[in-house]
């Protein structure tokens, strides 16, 4: 029975010897997973592939999460069928990817991601077909379409807790790397040599941190040891891929712990170089502001509220911005243009490391720009700001700055009250501001001598208080 179960359906693309290993097999009475907890579409994909003569299993994070009594966010399938063979079995399937070919089987809004068993890349004198696999000189894998057996696939997965295969037909788990043992002991452990595995794909360092934070596990000491030294390898990862990883790191409900681990392992500076520098120069304020922003994000996710990457990224980058603004003001640039120029420079630098899409960079700049405008409340400016579509985000960001200890002269309290009072009380609040300026000896504006001349739009004076 076992011999039949583990029989390998080899792809014609790759032939040759491979190492065999015997998995630990857990029967339905030895694990808590029940078939009813699994997406019926995922079960359907596995059953159909098996009926067609292929091996097929649910694999990875969904199995791990079910063992931990966590609801999986998706279900992945691993199979001996090639992408083209999977595509031939399902009319609702689409082959995607170049670096790593996959098949997406669509069932309405649900997608079952199906991958062919992979094998380790050829090494040494073995022939390597660049159409199937290729490596960067650093060891990073550029293309990964070398197909192999179930045993091969298990050994080339990144972490032991992700090398678990569940067959919903027999309801058995195949554990090739002692993943169940590590789940019981709350450990994140790489399969194989950690240095080599990180060199193959430096993003595995971020994944180790993400899983440790999500599951509240420890990174096993041998798997943790090379991270600090190898962190600079992330500079070679495409910026678009790193943006996706940042969203996974900070928008999953455990951002504070993730941030702590990233700093501890020297990874935060690889993702946010300017912010890491600010953390060195002004550690208390920078750390507190970032923590408060991440804590608020985690709370909103726990409450089922929406979160926007723009606000969070604005907070992560903000500590690096004021020094740049001051530098430009010292050269004679007015406050608002200085803010805009510094923001453009900082975001441009950040996008070289993490490709933040324009749909997020624009709101980031508007939130920052609002910080320079919120102190300017005289005349009708307060009402104009209040009607702005970016007021709420700018106001919330102002409160975030104050929560980190930034002095704004009570600006947050003023705007909190201004939103709640009547129109007449708002006029009194604006009048009080003018009286304070008069008491402080602020110069009055001179009237134009030619009253018939058409007035142009009002401009902000460079000497207007900024509240900083």
- Indicate which residues carry an active-site annotation: 74, 76, 158
Angstrom distance (rounded) from CA 215 to CA 254 = 9
Residue 390 · residue 363 · CB < 8 Å: yes
Please write down the long-range contacts of 432-435, taking CB distance under 8 Å and 24 or more positions apart.
433/377, 433/378, 434/378
Place of tokens 């894998």: 141
Alpha helices in 282-357 (DSSP H): 283-302, 309-317, 321-330, 335-353
Other Cβ atoms less than 10 A from the Cβ of 221: the count is 10
User: What DSSP string describes 25-37?
Assistant: EE-GGGS---GGG
Residue 16 · residue 49 · CB < 8 Å: no
Angstrom distance (rounded) from CA 120 to CA 200 = 11
Other Cβ atoms less than 10 A from the Cβ of 352: the count is 10
Go through 188-210 and write b for each residue having 16 or more CB atoms within 10 A of its CB, e for each that does not: bbbbeebbebbbbbbbbbbbbbb
Classify residue 186 as left (phi > 0), alpha (psi -120 to 50) or beta: left
User: What DSSP string describes 258-294?
Assistant: HHHHHHHTT-HHHH-HHHHHHHHHSHHHHHHHHHHHH
Q: How far is residue 308 from each of residues 152, 207, 352, measured CA to CA in Å?
A: 40, 22, 21
């Amino acid at each position: 029975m076992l011999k039949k179960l583990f029989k390998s359906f080899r792809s014609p693309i790759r032939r040759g010897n491979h190492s065999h290993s015997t998995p630990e097999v857990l029967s339905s009475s030895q694990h808590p997973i029940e078939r009813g907890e699994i997406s019926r579409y995922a079960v359907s994909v596995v059953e159909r592939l098996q009926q067609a003569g292929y091996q097929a299993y649910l694999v990875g994070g969904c199995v791990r999460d079910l063992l931990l009594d966590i609801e999986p966010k998706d279900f992945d399938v691993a199979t001996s069928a090639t992408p083209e063979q999977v595509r031939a079995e399902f009319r609702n399937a689409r082959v995607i990817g170049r670096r790593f070919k996959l098949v997406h089987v669509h069932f309405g809004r649900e997608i079952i991601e199906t991958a062919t068993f992979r094998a380790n890349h050829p090494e040494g004198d073995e022939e390597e077909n660049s159409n199937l696999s290729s490596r960067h000189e650093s060891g990073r894998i550029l293309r990964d379409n070398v197909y192999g057996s179930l045993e091969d696939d298990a050994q080339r997965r990144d972490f032991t807790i992700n090398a678990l295969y569940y067959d919903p037909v027999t309801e058995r788990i195949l554990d090739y790397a002692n993943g169940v043992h590590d789940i019981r002991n709350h450990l994140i452990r790489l399969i194989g040599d950690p240095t080599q595995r990180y060199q193959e794909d430096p993003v595995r360092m971020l994944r180790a941190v993400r899983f440790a934070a999500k599951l509240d596990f420890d990174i096993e000491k041998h798997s943790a040891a090379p991270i600090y030294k190898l962190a600079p390898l992330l500079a070679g990862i495409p910026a678009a891929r790193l943006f996706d990883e940042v969203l996974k790191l900070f928008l999953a409900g455990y951002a504070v712990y993730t941030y702590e681990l990233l700093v501890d392992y020297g990874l935060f500076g690889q993702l946010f170089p300017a912010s890491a520098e600010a953390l060195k120069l002004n550690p208390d304020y920078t750390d507190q502001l970032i923590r408060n922003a991440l804590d608020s994000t985690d709370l909103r996710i726990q409450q089922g509220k929406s979160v926007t990457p723009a606000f969070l990224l604005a907070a992560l980058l903000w500590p690096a911005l004021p020094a740049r603004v001051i530098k430009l003001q010292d050269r004679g640039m007015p406050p608002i243009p200085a803010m805009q120029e510094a923001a453009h420079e900082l975001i441009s630098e950040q996008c070289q490391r993490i490709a933040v899409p324009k749909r997020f960079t624009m709101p980031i700049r508007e939130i920052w720009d609002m910080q320079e405008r919120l102190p300017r409340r005289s005349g009708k400016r307060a009402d104009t700001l209040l009607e702005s579509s970016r007021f709420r985000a700018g106001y919330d960001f102002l409160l975030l700055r104050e929560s980190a200890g930034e002095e704004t002269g009570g600006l947050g309290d003023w705007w909190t009250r201004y939103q709640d009072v009547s129109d007449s009380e708002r006029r009194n609040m604006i009048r009080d501001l003018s009286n304070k300026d008069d008491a402080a000896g602020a110069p009055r504006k001179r009237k134009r001598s030619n009253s018939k001349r058409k007035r142009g739009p009002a401009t902000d004076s460079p000497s207007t208080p900024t509240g900083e």
